[in-house]
Amino acid sequence: MTVTTAATDEYELYVDGQWVSGSDTLAVDDLADGGVFARVATADERRVETALQAAARAQSAMADATIVERMRWLDGIAAAIDDHADELAEVVVREAGKPIASAESEVAAAAERFRRAAGEARDVQGEYVEGTTPGHEGWNAIVEPRPVGTVLCIAPYNYPLATTALQVAPALAAGNSVLLKPSSKTPVCAVVLARLIDEATDLPAGGVNVLPGPSSTIGNALAGDDRIDAIAMTGSSAAGERVARESGMVTLHMELGGNAPAIVFPDADLAAAAADCAKGSFKFAGQRCSAISRILAHESVHDDFVDLLAAGLDDWQPGPLFDHDTAVGPLITEDHAAWVAELVTDAVDRGATLVAGGERDGRRFEPTLLADVPRDARILYEEQFGPVAAVTPIGSEADAVELANADDLGLDASVFTDDHDRAMRVAEAVDAGAVRINGAPSHGLGDIPFGGVGASGIGREGLGYTIESFLTTKSIVL
C-alpha cells in the first residue's frame, strides 16, 4: 500500500496477500530532482519467516492452478503495467536515474515479458513415454512437469522492473510461489508491481511476496533457508558467489557481472561499428551487465576508430532525466562514480590517452573515451559499470581472442568484421555466453538465452528457458 505524505510516498511490505509494516524504512533517493522521493518499509527476520511460511502454504494452490489460470494471471499483470505505464516510468527515472525515454522502454518491455510468459505457459506440457529397454517394452509412463516450489527472485538496481519481470513471470508461469527481494537502491518498482498484482489477479495469498531490505540483514536468511527451492538472481559476481555459498542444494539461475569486449577488425564498417560501440558503452551510463566495456581495435584502424567514437560523443551527453532527448543520466551512487573514476585514473596513469570526458560531479560521470589503453590497465579486466569506452590496439585475431578471454568474466562479446568465416571463428573462440556479430550485445525480450560462463553466472535467462529451470518432473510409470 502507498501512503502519500507532504514530502514523499511511503510503501509497506507485501506479505501473504497483505500490506504490512516493516521494522525500518529505506529512504530512496530522487536521482532526477534530488532529495528523497520515497520511503519503503524493510523486512526483518520475523517478516522473512512470515513470508517463507506464506509461500510454502501457497505452493499447493499455485501448483494446482491450470495453465489457463496462470495465463490469465500473467496477461492481467501485463495489462496492469500498461495501464500504469506513466507511473512506473516516473518511478524508474527517479529511483534508477534512467532517462525518461529509456524508462518508458523498460516499462513496455516488462509488460511484454509478462505477456510472452503467458504464451510460453502453453508449452508447460507433459509427455507420454514408452519403454525402450529390453524387457520393458510394455512399460509406459506419464511425465508431468511440476513447479519446483518457492523461487527467490533477487532483482538488480539497473533494470528494477524489466529484470524483475524476467524473473517473476517465468516463476509464475511454472506455478511457483515467489519471494521477491528488490535492490535496496531501487525498491519502489517492486512494491508498485506487487500492488498491481494484488489488484489485477486472484493469485493465492502468499503466491507473491515482496521483501525490500538490506542484503546484510535479510539476504542470508532468505538464500540459506531450506524452504527456498530455486534462486533467480541478477547482480554482481561477488554478490552471486555469496548467495551460492549460502544456498545449498537449490536450483541456481544467476546472471552476474560482465566485461564485454568488442573486437573490431580492419574490414569492418567502421562508422557503423563505432555507433554500435558507443551505444554499447554509454547507454544508461554503462550500467548494464551486457555493456561494451572494452574495445579491442586492430592496430591498423585504432586511431581512425577512436576519431569516429570521438565525433559521436555529442550524442551521449547528460541532460535532464525527464527530457526525451537525454541519453545519459547519473550513476546509481557517488561511491560507484568514484569507482569508475578510479579505473579511469589507473588507465591514464599507466599510459592511456584521455581523449574526452573523465570528469566526475557527485553521481555524474562524463561519457569518457580512452585510447591506447595499455594491457596492464585494470579497466580491461575489471567490471566498470560506467560510461567509459576503453579502446586498446590488437595485432591479430589470436591476440584479440587472448585478450578477450584474459579475465574471469564471460557474459557477452561483439565481433565486427565483414568476413563471415572470421566472425564465426572468433565468436566460437571467445569465452562468453553470447557473441553478437556486427552489433552491440542484445538478447531481445527473453527469446534469446542470456547468461554467462565463469564468474558471469549460472544458467540462462530467457522466458522459455527460465520456465524450464523452474520446473521439475514427476514420472508415473504404468
Catalytic residues, by residue number, are: 255, 289
Q: Cell 555529442 sits at which residue?
A: 314
What is the C-alpha separation between 256 and 410, in angstroms, rounded?
A: 10
Decide if 369 contacts 353 (C-beta within 8 A): no
Q: Which residues of 213-240 are buried (b: 16+ CB within 10 A; e: fewer)?
A: bebebbbbbbbebebbbbbbbbbbbebb
- Is there a contact between 365 and 285 (Cβ–Cβ < 8 Å)? yes
- The C-alpha atoms of residue 218 and residue 229 are separated, in whole angstroms, by 17
CA distance 343 to 293: 12
Parallel, antiparallel, or unpaired: how do β-strands 453-454 and 409-410 relate? antiparallel
Nearest to 19 by CA among 36, 43, 37, 38: 43
Integer Cα distance of 190 and 186 in angstroms: 8
CA–CA separation, 48 vs 55, rounded Å? 10
Q: How far apart are CA 138 and CA 116, in angstroms?
A: 39
- According to DSSP, the residues that pair with 361 across neighbouring strands are 364
Asked if 114 contacts 60 with a C-beta cutoff of 8 angstroms, the reply is no
Reported in sequence order, the residue ranges of 322-424 that DSSP labels E, i.e. its strands, are 353-356, 360-361, 364-365, 368-371, 388-394, 409-410, 412-416
- Listed in sequence order, the residues at least 6 apart from 93 whose beta carbon sits closer than 8 Å to its beta carbon are 31, 32, 99, 100, 103, 321, 322
